[in-house]
Amino acid sequence: MEINVEITKVMRIPREQSPTQIMIDQTRLENVEYFKYFGNMITICVRHTREIKSRTAMTKAEFNQ
Protein backbone atom coordinates (compact mmCIF):
# COMPACT_ATOMS: atom_id res chain seq x y z
CA MET A 1 0.00 0.00 0.00
CA GLU A 2 1.30 3.42 -0.92
CA ILE A 3 0.35 6.69 0.74
CA ASN A 4 0.22 9.86 -1.34
CA VAL A 5 1.99 12.27 1.01
CA GLU A 6 1.06 15.26 -1.16
CA ILE A 7 -2.65 14.98 -0.30
CA THR A 8 -2.54 13.16 3.07
CA LYS A 9 -3.30 15.28 6.12
CA VAL A 10 -3.36 14.55 9.86
CA MET A 11 -5.96 15.46 12.47
CA ARG A 12 -5.51 14.55 16.11
CA ILE A 13 -8.23 14.89 18.73
CA PRO A 14 -6.20 15.49 21.90
CA ARG A 15 -7.17 16.38 25.43
CA GLU A 16 -4.55 19.11 25.25
CA GLN A 17 -3.83 21.08 22.09
CA SER A 18 -0.48 20.03 20.67
CA PRO A 19 0.52 19.52 17.05
CA THR A 20 1.19 16.02 15.80
CA GLN A 21 4.31 15.51 13.74
CA ILE A 22 4.08 12.50 11.43
CA MET A 23 6.76 11.94 8.82
CA ILE A 24 6.45 9.67 5.77
CA ASP A 25 9.40 9.37 3.39
CA GLN A 26 11.01 12.39 5.07
CA THR A 27 7.91 14.49 4.34
CA ARG A 28 5.99 15.97 7.25
CA LEU A 29 2.22 15.58 6.94
CA GLU A 30 0.05 18.69 7.32
CA ASN A 31 -1.95 19.07 10.57
CA VAL A 32 -5.56 20.16 10.09
CA GLU A 33 -8.29 21.22 12.52
CA TYR A 34 -11.18 20.11 10.30
CA PHE A 35 -11.95 18.18 7.11
CA LYS A 36 -14.95 17.01 5.15
CA TYR A 37 -15.82 13.28 5.34
CA PHE A 38 -18.87 11.80 3.59
CA GLY A 39 -20.38 15.27 3.31
CA ASN A 40 -19.93 16.21 6.99
CA MET A 41 -17.45 18.58 8.55
CA ILE A 42 -15.25 16.73 11.04
CA THR A 43 -13.56 18.95 13.61
CA ILE A 44 -11.27 18.62 16.60
CA CYS A 45 -14.36 19.01 18.81
CA VAL A 46 -14.79 15.59 20.47
CA ARG A 47 -18.57 15.93 20.81
CA HIS A 48 -19.09 14.84 17.20
CA THR A 49 -17.56 11.40 17.61
CA ARG A 50 -20.94 9.69 18.04
CA GLU A 51 -22.17 11.14 14.76
CA ILE A 52 -18.98 10.02 13.04
CA LYS A 53 -19.31 6.47 14.37
CA SER A 54 -22.97 6.16 13.43
CA ARG A 55 -22.46 7.53 9.92
CA THR A 56 -19.42 5.30 9.40
CA ALA A 57 -21.48 2.28 10.46
CA MET A 58 -24.26 3.28 8.04
CA THR A 59 -21.73 3.64 5.22
CA LYS A 60 -20.17 0.25 5.96
CA ALA A 61 -23.61 -1.35 5.97
CA GLU A 62 -24.39 0.17 2.56
CA PHE A 63 -21.08 -1.04 1.11
CA ASN A 64 -21.62 -4.57 2.45
CA GLN A 65 -25.01 -4.94 0.73
The pairing of beta strand 23-24 with beta strand 34-37: unpaired
Name the burial class of residue 9, with classes exposed (0-12), middle (13-18) and buried (19+) by CB atoms within 10 angstroms of its CB: exposed
Question: By the 8 A CB rule, do 6 and 30 touch?
Answer: no
Report helix, strand or coil for 38: coil
Let me know the angle formed at the C-alpha of 1 by 46 and 11, rounded to the nearest 5 degrees. Answer: 20
Instruction: Supply the mean pLDDT for the chain.
Output: 80
Q: The pTM is what?
A: 0.52
pLDDT single digits (tens) 19-41:
678 888 888 988 888 887 777 77
Residue, of 50 and 44, whose pLDDT is higher = 44
Q: Measured between alpha carbons, how far apart are the two ends of the chain, in Å?
A: 26
